[in-house]
Amino acid sequence: MPLFGFRTHKKYDKDFSQEKQVKAAPDKIEKKTKPRKETIKAEKLPAPKVAVAKTKISAAAIVPGAHSSSAEAIIRPRITEKSGLLSQNGAYTFQVTESANKQTITKAIVDLYKIRPVKVAVMNIPAKSVFVRGKIGRVPGMKKAVVTLKKGDKIDFV
């Protein structure tokens, strides 16, 4: 008999009424056995034939900066006070993926805005600890790109 979640000795857990019946009339009590589950053996089927393309994998598919479409390199324009001042001089700031490089960012600008950039500068912004309302937090880091355009070119974010 369990008491407060603890098991007592095994001899107290037995049900003596069934033992008396076994001694009195052993042929009246039937053993209940579970039928065995038959295991079904799966037939071995031949492996499906898959057509394999015999083309060479381009180097761009292996490069870390490669994306399925070049526009995926840019996440969003980074609109801050500093980027607003830079955009007056023809330099626009974008948040980009961690695997993006200058070539993929250039392709993305050409695809999205139909403008060829003159210069692309890429920088990693580290994560920072902040203290707001009495609690310590963390601002995640990111990668940003500053794209410089020709004198007459312009990008509208609206």
Q: Where are the domains of the chain?
A: 66-148
Query: Could you report the per-residue pLDDT of 88-140, keeping only the tens digit for each?
Result: 999 999 999 999 999 999 999 999 999 999 999 999 999 999 999 999 999 99
Q: How far is the CA of 126 from the CAs of 30, 77, 131, 141, 142, in angstroms? A: 75, 18, 16, 5, 7
Fold for domain 66-148?
Alpha-Beta Plaits (3.30.70)
Query: Could you report the per-residue pLDDT of 13-52, keeping only the tens digit for each?
Result: 555 555 555 455 555 555 666 666 655 555 666 665 655 5
pLDDT given at position 95: 96
Record the pTM.
0.55
Bridge-partner residues for 76, per DSSP? Answer: 95
pLDDT given at position 69: 72
